[in-house]
Each structure stands twice: as structure tokens, then as C-alpha cells.
Amino acid sequence: MIYPKEQNARRDIIEAGRRLYMRGFVCANDGNLSARISQDAVIATPSGVSKGFMTDDMLVKLDLDGSILEGSLTPSSEIKMHLAIYRQSADILSVCHAHPPVSTTFAAAGIPLDKALLQETAVSLGVVPIAKYAMPGSDDLAEVAAGFCIDYHGVLLEHHGSVAWGADVMQALFRMESIEYTATVTMYSKIMGVERTMSTRQIEDLKTLRPGLGITAHLGEFK
């Protein structure tokens, strides 16, 4: 496993936080990001700080048990979820949790993103399921979210928001953007009253492109 350099992970977390805030995917002090920089260490965003205005000295270094190694601030209240995901899959090196408005609306409604409306969704994002309701920052939330990280690229948290993960900070961020874009197209399709999904044959043909993109996860079955 090749881990990112710590300075690069810190830079990318700060930049990803800025993009989340500027795009309205988080408000106030919401959301959190992390990056795994070694077998035993993670860099995470702090609690109580706007993700759009973070500086390097605000970030916190922890081990996979959640003990603080460096940093003067308290790590995000959702750090248990991040650490559970890292423990579940050694291939995941970054986690992004946010509250994008459209996908969070689907999360509040308990509706998964499982309609194959877009080629890009069918190829690289896949189905985005719903994780059952759990209290924020709880062990239950960490457990239910981590249960999806092997087979999917992201999950909607019921009445909460969404989580995406990846091989680096930017991939996790881009998957979060893809979740929100897919949710937006799905919402407009519902408003139009026409959910014109691709055929099973079209979906299966698109899946053949995944190996060339390095995608090995199952990514669920579209309805």
C-alpha cells in the first residue's frame, strides 16, 4: 500500500474542505474529511470549524483507535465513522462526509439512488444505498456506514447526509460530487414525471468499462 505524504494529504484536505463549502455541500461547521497517511495514522478535520476556512494547524493526527497523536483541536465528532471505514478496507485512504442538499433530501426521504439514468453513474459511481438511521457520532453510525464500503463508493445516511470514500482525498471528494449530481438529475426526472432508465443490456455493457478504470467493487444492482 502506497500512502500519501502527510503534507500532500493536509493540503488536499484543506482544498477539498474549501470546495465543499463553496459548492454549498456543507454549511456552518458541518462535514468532515480525513486521509489515511500510514498503516496507523490518519489526518482529520477538527470539530467546530468551517471546512471552508481551515488552516493546516487546525488539522488533527490520530491513530486508528482514535487517540490523538498531534494537534490542539478536537477531531470531528464523526471520526468513529471514518476510522471504522479504514479498518474495514485497507484500500480506502480517504473519507468525505457532507450534507449536499439534493442527496441529503433523498437521505431524509429514505430513497436510495438506484436508477440508471446516467452512463457515468452506471460506470463509475454505481448504486448509492441508504444506511439505516443512527445517532451522529455514534458507534452504530460507524458500524452501519462501514458496512457499505467494500461494495459501494458511497452511501446516504438516513436523515443525515452522505459519505463517500476513495483512494485519495480528491477521489473521495469527486465521488461526493457525483452523488450530488446523480441525485440532482434523479430529482429533475421525478419533477418531469419521466424516469427513463437505461436497459439491462445497456447497463451490463457499461459495466465492462469498469476494469479499465480500476473499479473492482460490485457497486450494487440498478432498478
pLDDT in tens, 76-100: 999 999 999 999 999 999 999 999 9
What's 72's DSSP letter? S
In a domain, 115, yes or no: yes
Distances (CA, A) of 12 to 76, 94, 193: 17, 10, 40
Q: What percent of the chain has pLDDT over 70?
A: 100
Domain that holds residue 30: 6-213
- Say yes or no to pLDDT of 23 above 90: yes
> pLDDT by residue (tens digit) across 37-63?
999 999 999 999 999 999 999 999 999
- pTM, full prediction: 0.97
In a domain, 100, yes or no: yes
In a domain, 108, yes or no: yes
What is the CATH number for 112? 3.40.225.10
In a domain, 1, yes or no: no
In a domain, 154, yes or no: yes
Cβ proximity of 145 and 85 under 8 Å: yes
What's 67's DSSP letter? -
Give the chain's domain count: 1
Helix-strand-coil split of the chain, %, nearest 5: 40, 15, 45
